[in-house]
Amino acid sequence: MRVGGKGFETRVVDGMLHIRSASSMVGYLNAPNPIDADGWMNTGDLVEERDGLIRFIGRASEVINVGGQKVFPTEVEDVLLAAPNVTEATVFGVRHPLLGQAVRALVTVAEPESEDTLAERLKEHCRARLAKYKVPLRFDVAELGAHVSERAKKRRLSVGAAERENA
């Protein structure tokens, strides 16, 4: 897609989208200024740029670091949504003692299925389509709608929140 327009400039620095315009916000109350001295704002979006077009890959804050390898939750979610009986999927990182983080998935199914059977089936489905480090170590089942907030935004659990839910 093309980003910007009249009065806007874009650039990609280390895979991150930066935007600059003649009129921009001052910043967020009680937060560091997101705009650098030259007027560029790092959006936090990971992108690829090719021939003037920008492809959004994900948010930097959502990237899961598994032993130094980057995992984009949306890539794993797309694979899970292609599996039979899966209607919703949310992927997030959890702490791992050896790897730093590991991948975990929350799924909703159309028809009831044994959690053990579902987990094994989804692991096999993911192993056939993803690199080993991207395959979720654990699958939890949630009710329909549990994946989004009341504002219809994807609800990704932070590392700490996922561990508290586990307790």
Strands annotated E in 22-155: 41-50, 53-59, 64-66, 69-71, 86-96, 100-109, 138-141
Q: Which domains does the chain have, with CATH numbers?
A: 8-60 (2.30.38.10), 63-166 (3.30.300.30)
User: From its phi and psi, is residue 166 left (phi > 0), alpha (psi between -120 and 50) or beta?
Assistant: alpha
What would the pLDDT profile of 15-39 be if each residue is shown by its tens digit? 889 988 877 766 677 777 778 888 8
Contact predicate 38/106, CB 8 Å: no
Contact predicate 73/91, CB 8 Å: yes
- Give the up-direction half-sphere exposure of residue 138: CA atoms within 13 A in the CB hemisphere: 13
Strands annotated E in 74-166: 86-96, 100-109, 138-141
What would the pLDDT profile of 135-158 be if each residue is shown by its tens digit? 999 999 988 777 776 766 677 765
For residue 80, give both structure tokens.
């899970």
Q: Which residues of the chain have pLDDT under 70?
A: 25-27, 149, 151-153, 157-167
